[in-house]
Chain A
């Protein structure tokens, strides 16, 4: 009888809502003061019970506000999504409390206790992160060992690139294709010339000095640019009716897919020069670029093949019946559809490519993560690994998230007809 009286009903909604809210608010008040103010307001209770008070109180509060069809849209939504049963209420509270507990030290380390001012390790007196490290090394993390006075060249190369890409997004369709052709076929040469120099009055800067985030961008951009078309050709080759082309494609794909990237890079840098005739020299960066490109192209090929296989046979037959040959059929009919189908897979491969770039440390090239590895071993800056890698992680995340968003937009834009 008493229990029935305690059951939340719509008739007594105001009472239950008030009671329940008090419990929930108190539970959150308790956990927040506990975590952020270091004050235990339930300290008078035995330790175990005191520790679990927020959970118990929140649980009771959630039970009291679980009123079906209350008529209040916000309450109904809340109940449906995070408070639909006793177990779900418990899970909701538990997860929220764990997040609150975990965020506090994280914020402390990242911001509240962190050090931002200064110029050496000794200036980091707090308990938190020493962002001075990143500040002091920032130049190196961006440009590697590129000479300070020449860094404007890296800047202008990237500013030019981003400006061109930016403009290409907004110009009308007709002019757009010229921008894209320029970006794909002309800009790379301008960019490389600007960076390496050696003519036009620019001082020569060897590729071994390139590094940092700019090198991450350079390697990613070139590898993406080349691995995509090679992958498409390999995918088509693997489905070719000509046995020679088919077996070469299969062999290529399976060979590169079966070897770890780190091995491939090592071979490209160390073993490959041994097979070259004396006196010939191919730049280390170029060798590494080729290795990464071919490696990722093998993955790309399999992703694209998935799309090719997903298309109904009728599409091929319709294209053929209109008199289209192999290339016209693939370029006009098959690839536009197949590539659209596998945009998520392509994005996946390209993200993996960007995140694989740190592996070039095995051949002595230092992109962002590599430069951090170098900086943290500097005797004046020992013990800064955490700050460095958190920073690198953040930068990589921003790059990859941007790519991921772009691929999602592209998918949405191209799917109008379905």
Chain B
């Protein structure tokens, strides 16, 4: 099967501190991958490299057949195909939820306003906040904001969705509503890379688990095997601490 994301020998430094060390990763279409690991292990940096919110200094990253390099045209094209959901939601506070969702389709994909709003409403219905469409982000709860952020990313009809700790900033009772949306999305066949500490979610949807520590991929395994029979000691220690 063809790969939609390929990382080869990716290295990245922040000044002199190396955050990513020789990362090799391949993701096939419709695969769901969950990345876990202690804080500071480079998980967020890794997925931010995939849509080039961070630049890598060595190695190749190929997304959907396009090599990520200095060329701005390439980057904007890739970003339009790769949706991202942030820990802090990052909705645009000066726009209504509907405008948040329809803005990029109108201005980046050049869709007519009416069509963009139809797509927006469809996706807002999918994440079950269509009744909040005309409110502003500040008037919504954290869980609703994060679902709106997911809808906003979906409106670009991306091939890949990246989730950067989507539930870490949420109150416990709101985590479930966001995870439900993500599970639904996974069942719909979306290619997903998720950085999260929600191991219940990982067990339910992930095809592969990746464990990172100190900028390296320590272990990559099928989900069942990863939880039942982890190979490295570092993984065992981590799992014993969080499970």
Contact = CB atoms under 8 A, between A and B. Distances in A.
Interface of A: 312, 314-315, 317-325, 328, 332-333, 336-337, 340, 414, 416-418
12 contacts: A315-B90, A317-B84, A318-B149, A320-B51, A321-B86, A323-B79, A324-B104, A328-B107, A336-B94, A416-B136, A417-B137, A418-B138
A167 B139 CA distance: 34
B46 interface: no
Query: Considering residues A320, A323, A325, A328, which has the most beta carbons from chain B within 10 angstroms of its beta carbon?
Result: A323
Nearest to B105: A322
B183 interface: no
B112 to A, nearest CB: 17
Nearest to A328: B107
A320 B88 CA distance: 15
B83 interface: yes
A318 B162 CA distance: 12
B152 interface: yes
Interface string B97-134: 00000011001110000000000000000000000000
Contact of A322 (B77, B96, B108, B137): B108
Contacts of A336: 94
Given A318-B92, A323-B108, A417-B94, 4 more contacts: A314-B88, A321-B86, A417-B138, A418-B138
Q: Which 3 A-B pairs have the closest CB atoms?
A: A323-B80, A417-B136, A318-B90
Contacts of A314: 86, 88, 90
Interface of B: 51, 53, 72, 76-77, 79-84, 86, 88, 90-94, 96, 103-104, 107-109, 136-139, 149, 152-153, 156
A321 B53 contact: yes
A325 B103 contact: no
Nearest to B88: A314
Contacts of A333: 92
Contacts of A324: 76, 104, 107-108
A336 B94 CA distance: 8
Contacts of B76: 323-325
Given A332-B103, A417-B137, A417-B139, A321 B92 contact: no
A337 B93 CA distance: 8
A328 B77 CA distance: 14
A418 B136 CA distance: 8
A117 to B, nearest CB: 56
A323 B138 contact: no
Contacts of B86: 314, 317-318, 321
B83 A321 contact: yes
A417 B138 CA distance: 6
Contacts of A416: 136
B29 to A, nearest CB: 20
Contacts of B51: 320-321
Contacts of A312: 88, 90
B214 to A, nearest CB: 25
B108 A315 contact: no
A318 B91 contact: yes
Contact of B79 (A315, A321, A340): A321
Contacts of B88: 312, 314
Nearest to B137: A417
A337 B92 CA distance: 9
Given A328-B108, A332-B103, A332-B107, A320 B94 contact: no
Nearest to A323: B80
Contact of B53 (A320, A328, A340, A414): A320
A319 B95 CA distance: 13
A320 B50 CA distance: 13
A323 B94 contact: no
Contacts of B93: 337, 417-418
A368 B222 CA distance: 81
A101 B152 CA distance: 65
Contacts of A418: 93, 138
